[in-house]
Amino acid sequence: VLTMPFRVKHAQGKGLMHGGAITALADTAVDMAIKSLLPEGSHFVTMEMTLKFHAPIHGGTVKSVAEAVREDERTIRGTAEVFDDNGIKAAAFTSVFRIKRR
């Protein structure tokens, strides 16, 4: 679980949280989940990501709940859901990561 406060600098023109900020929060939450699975010092990169928006975020503290599942020796799939301050799901994130060879 990773949280981020809504700031005006994270807003788009209508005052809603910008999609890029939401994506960064979800991607970073998945990164932290992956780090909990791998040995310290492991290197991995995002190969693919998608984000589906469900509701706008107007303010407050934004929360991302992430999970990472190792598919094989070098592939990890990540998911995250992003919620607004009222617990409303604002976005769903999916991703594929690749672990660097040793």
Output the pLDDT for position 12.
87
Whether the Cβ atoms of residue 38 and residue 75 lie closer than 8 Å to each other? no
* pTM score above 0.85: yes
Nearest partner of 55 among 88, 82, 90, judged by Cα: 90
- At 5-58, the pLDDT tens digits run 998 887 888 889 999 999 999 999 999 999 999 999 999 999 999 999 999 999
Output the pLDDT for position 67.
98
- Cα radius of gyration rounded to whole Å, the chain: 14
pLDDT (mean) for 56-79: 96
